[in-house]
Amino acid sequence: MKDEIKSEVRQLPFMLGKVAGGLMAVIGFGGTVMALTRQQHYSTSGLVVYVLTGIVGLALFILSSRLMAGDSGKADGTEATTKKKVKTSALSWVIFLVIAALFIAIILIVAG
């Protein structure tokens, strides 16, 4: 049980990075959609900030996901299999896309 806890503690920074990256991406791309659809005269600088926030968030999410998948096998002394890496990556992407879809749906409901 101690080994499992140590393994999860080692993966915690990567999970927090994925959460932060996912939130940044959702806020950035959601803000871009909101600025383009709700405002008649949007500022280009504000739009660039939203787009850059989304891109940085997506990059942080991908980087954290890959680091976590690569580190998951090293934590317990065994090399992570390709199947385990794909499973970890697929689960992260599904969670990310569901949160993004919910955020965009809420924005469209509130804007409508």
Q: What is the pLDDT of residues 91-104, one digit of tens each?
A: 677 778 888 888 88
DSSP assignment of 9-36, as one string?
HHHHHHHHHHHHHHHHHHHHHHHHHHHH
Residue 89: the pLDDT is 64
Q: Which domain holds residue 6?
A: 2-111
As a whole number of angstroms, the distance between CA 55 and CA 44 comes to 16
pTM of the model: 0.62
Total domains in the fold of the chain: 1
- 88 has pLDDT over 80: no
Give the separation between CA 74 and CA 100, rounded to whole angstroms.
31
pLDDT in tens, 19-39: 899 999 999 998 888 888 876
Task: Of 99, 25, 28, give the one whose Cα is nearest residue 63.
Answer: 25
